[in-house]
Structure 1
């Protein structure tokens, strides 16, 4: 057989056997990838309670003309309770109350007499307005995040003393601030916040040397906290 006829026979044999070989191959199925489930979004609606601690920078003005205020940085810590509701998937409103103890205790000499100022406790009742934005950020271990503004009424018990005389008063005032709160589980959140508070004047009777002082106070508080949502 000539070489050309031999080549033609080989091509014909290949054409006849290819369909049979292809029939023996398994069908290849391309499956769509299964999307990963999205993490459950945190539910900000409901009651919550928790604790917090931080630093208070306090300024107590004794009302003495030409004299500086009594400044002190101290520890502050306590508990908070509140209730919040989601008006929409991103908007959260609520009310919160807190109570704190403080180590604020500082003395300044006015003329020849030392005046000591202490802040025993503070409390506030505040409204909160938050904006949840966790769906726009991808943070491992965080179900949702909200930034919030807060403000309301404040109370604080102060004590003033000079040698042989002491007086206490509960001051009323207002407070305003804001913070960020992140949900780390479906019930637990962590927060960081700042509060500025201004307290109205109260009169302190501190004896004949110092006299009656019209004392006012202002505080700046930075604190962190943990809350449990029920």
Structure 2
């Protein structure tokens, strides 16, 4: 009996100590999944562009403004002082420069603006011939072109966007006049030697994001800088004026270029750095 009581007492004394040694396992902490931030097209960007420009031939018409009594530009049987069309060639060439812009994305719609400036190797040349015979050439050269445009884009995803664009265009156009060696006339005065022309430009493009910071694009623009006026006063021989044939115009004959629009197309590849 004593042994039983001693065993029971020992069991009761050791029970709390045994309970203190029991370890309760806690449930694992929930795993937090990091969702990558969705990038969009919002923000400032700068970059470079380069491409090719081209236009239509025969954009300028020359005509003798002063009716000549002896018609050096008038085909046989045609009315004296009739206008004539010059043979025109548009000088296609390089277009390239830099741009800066800003985009803001709203859902799938991207709104923005862009300012760019380009050096160009574009122009046109008009050649005319009189019955003297002689050659007369008027050239227009576009030195540089700047545009300020809005952009309306659609973001298919965070890597690819298509857009339409349009706005104001500004160009510096130089005029040059020259005569062939066989010409009997001398140029007394010219006007319209250089014009600062404002016009408009419209087009569209696509843009692809290669990294978070770098994007590549392809853009087409149609640009119209409006009309240009040019004139050259010719004297001598059948043109009248000083040294001219008797009975011809005392003030010489003035050639004037028509105000046909100076318009052209450009296609450019672009690379931009996005901040």
TM-score range, shorter chain: 0.7 to 0.9
Tell me if 1:100 matches 2:118. Answer: yes
Bigger Cα displacement from structure 2, 94-103 vs 57-66: 57-66
Structure 1 or 2, whichever has the larger Rg, is 2
Q: Which has the higher helix share?
A: 1
Deviation sequence 1:70-91 (CA, Å, 0-9, x none): 3121000001111110122x11
Cα 1:205/1:108, change in 2 over 3 Å: closer
CA–CA distance in 2 between the matches of 1:210 and 1:121?
29
Q: Which runs of 5+ in 2 are unaligned?
A: 1-33, 63-83, 130-134, 179-186, 235-252
Q: Quote the residue 2:221 is aligned against.
A: 195
Tell me if 1:119 matches 2:142. Answer: yes
Tell whether the 8 Å contact from 1:41 to 1:144 is kept in structure 2 after alignment: no
CA–CA distance in 2 between the matches of 1:229 and 1:214?
45
Deviation sequence 1:167-186 (CA, Å, 0-9, x none): 11111111110000001010
Tell whether the 8 Å contact from 1:197 to 1:219 is kept in structure 2 after alignment: yes
CA–CA distance in 1 between the matches of 2:124 and 2:212?
43
Q: Which runs of 5+ in 1 are unaligned?
A: 1-36, 135-142
- TM-score by length of structure 1 reads 0.73
Cα 1:106/1:218, change in 2 over 3 Å: closer
Cα 1:62/1:81, change in 2 over 3 Å: same
Tell me if 1:160 matches 2:158. Answer: no
Count of aligned residue pairs for this structure pair: 186
- TM-score by length of structure 2 reads 0.61
Tell me if 1:205 matches 2:195. Answer: no
Bigger Cα displacement from structure 2, 145-154 vs 39-48: 39-48
Tell whether the 8 Å contact from 1:161 to 1:206 is kept in structure 2 after alignment: no
Q: Quote the residue 1:87 is aligned against.
A: 106
Cα 1:202/1:150, change in 2 over 3 Å: same
Bigger Cα displacement from structure 2, 110-119 vs 201-210: 201-210
Tell whether the 8 Å contact from 2:213 to 2:273 is kept in structure 1 after alignment: yes
Q: Quote the residue 1:217 is aligned against.
A: 262
Cα 1:188/1:131, change in 2 over 3 Å: same
Give RMSD over aligned pairs. Answer: 2.4
CA–CA distance in 2 between the matches of 1:219 and 1:39?
45
Residue 149 (structure 1) aligned to one of 140, 164, 177: 164
Give how far 1:148 is off.
0.3
SS in 2 for 1:61: coil
